[in-house]
């Protein structure tokens, strides 16, 4: 009879990013090597909500056993082999309560944490390793307060999880943004246009700031600083005039604001209360076109917009999102072996480590405007890099 030291559960929540599968693989291979068995919880927290704690029930959509054969096949692919969701068990709408729980949970919005705890116990999970952003990790902290042994891994393209300089997905997002922005230059230059590119970043502007700093764009506007479109138009026309190919480029974070209001697609929200962002790029491009004549001797300049969207989170991970998730997975197992739950693995000033999981209840990590952003020029500060962290976060 095979015996194990214990059982480790792992899940991925929120938006998919390249680098999740390398993290799952790292956890699984290290855990098996240390004598643990690994349960992959499918569809984020939804798997733990929908699971039926009965050995005869079909729970194939809710969890699967992981081994080296399963995870090795995924290493070169993007996304997450465990799938994902934005399910929030502490605020579950009635329509998402599974049939076997409707008798117990019948409010318009339900806290089904009791069922989640029972399912973790039924699976025999000794340690839970969630990989996600602040929403996923906020519920992980809730489970930690309920006595579940949690070791968390940060993931988000926006790189805004507090307590760590780096989150899985950020490197590939920046790499893709640079590549795609450069690719779009040919069209902008051919038609002598101003190109506005909308990128990810709800509260934090790292995904616009870093590519601009790397030379992908002339200007960037970020969520941390409300901007005037007239000023942006004037600066972009100056950039266009200086460019021999007669075009200029701006990166616009999806959470950037011209009048204190974010741009949303529809009125609906997810279970964490977030409305779907989108449209700021189109708005900025339209207004630049309308305002351009005033800064160009009465001649209108066409501005066009492109939203990069899911293209930057699809496909294989870049080098950083192949290496850092491997390290994060092993850091998580170090904490399991040390018997130290309630931690978030992290990078600080280029050094791997861990911090208390309660950091996820702090404010979002955002761009330090005074240090890294020139509010008059709408571009990064380049004054000094001495002593600054690699990702300026």
Assess contact for 255 and 220: CB atoms under 8 A. no
Residues whose CB is less than 8 angstroms from the CB of residue 18 and which lie 6 or more positions away in sequence, other chains included: 78, 79, 169, 172, 313, 314, 315, 316, 317, 318, 321
Per the annotation, the verdict on 135 as an active-site residue is no
Residue in 167, 165, 197 with CA at minimum distance from that of residue 367? 165
Helix axes 320-338, 20-33, angle to 10 degrees: 40
Q: Which residue out of 135, 158, 160, 165 is catalytically annotated?
A: 158
To which H or E segment does residue 306 belong?
strand 303-307
Quick count: other Cβ atoms within 10 Å of Cβ 186? Answer: 11
DSSP conformation letters of 309-364: GGGGGSSS--SHHHHHHHHHHHHHHHHHHHT--SEEEEEETTEEEEEEGGGGGSPP
- C-alpha to C-alpha distance for 329 and 129, rounded to whole angstroms: 9
Residues whose CB is less than 8 angstroms from the CB of residue 277 and which lie 6 or more positions away in sequence, other chains included: 202, 254, 255, 262, 263, 264, 265
- C-alpha to C-alpha distance for 206 and 170, rounded to whole angstroms: 9
Which residues are part of the catalytic machinery? 158
């Amino acid at each position: 009879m095979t015996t194990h030291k214990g059982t480790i559960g792992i899940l991925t929540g929120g938006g998919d990013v390249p680098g999740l599968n390398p993290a799952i693989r790292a956890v699984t291979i290290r855990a098996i090597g240390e004598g643990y068995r690994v349960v992959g919880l499918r569809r984020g927290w939804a798997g733990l909500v929908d699971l039926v704690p009965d050995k005869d029930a079909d729970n194939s959509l809710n969890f699967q056993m992981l081994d080296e054969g399963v995870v090795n096949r995924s290493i070169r692919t993007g996304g997450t082999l465990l799938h994902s969701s934005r399910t929030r068990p502490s605020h579950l709408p009635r329509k998402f309560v599974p049939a076997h729980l409707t008798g117990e949970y019948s409010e318009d919005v339900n806290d089904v944490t009791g069922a989640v705890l029972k399912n973790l116990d039924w699976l025999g999970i000794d340690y839970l390793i969630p990989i996600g952003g602040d929403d996923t990790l906020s519920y992980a902290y809730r489970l930690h307060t309920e006595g579940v042994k949690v070791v968390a891994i940060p993931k988000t393209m926006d790189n805004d999880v507090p307590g760590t300089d780096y989150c899985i997905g950020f490197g590939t997002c920046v790499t893709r943004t640079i590549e795609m922005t450069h690719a779009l230059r040919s069209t902008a230059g051919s038609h002598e246009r101003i190109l506005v590119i909308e990128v990810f970043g709800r509260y934090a502007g790292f995904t616009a700031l870093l590519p601009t700093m790397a030379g992908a764009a002339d200007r960037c506007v970020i969520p941390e600083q409300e901007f005037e479109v007239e000023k942006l138009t004037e600066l972009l026309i100056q950039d266009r005039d200086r460019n021999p190919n007669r075009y200029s480029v701006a990166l616009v974070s999806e959470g950037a604001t011209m009048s204190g209001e974010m741009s949303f697609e529809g009125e609906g929200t997810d279970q964490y209360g977030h409305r779907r962002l989108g449209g700021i790029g189109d708005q900025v491009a339209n207004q630049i076109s309308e305002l351009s004549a005033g800064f160009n001797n009465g001649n209108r300049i066409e501005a066009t917009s492109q939203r990069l969207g899911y293209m930057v989170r699809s496909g294989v991970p870049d080098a950083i999102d192949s290496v850092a998730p491997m390290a994060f997975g092993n850091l998580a197992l170090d904490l399991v072996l040390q018997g130290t739950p309630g931690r978030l693995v992290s990078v600080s000033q280029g050094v791997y480590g861990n911090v208390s999981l309660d950091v996820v209840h702090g404010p979002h990590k955002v761009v330090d405007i005074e240090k890294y952003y020139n509010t008059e020029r709408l571009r990064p500060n380049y004054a000094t890099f001495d002593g600054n962290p690699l990702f300026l976060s």
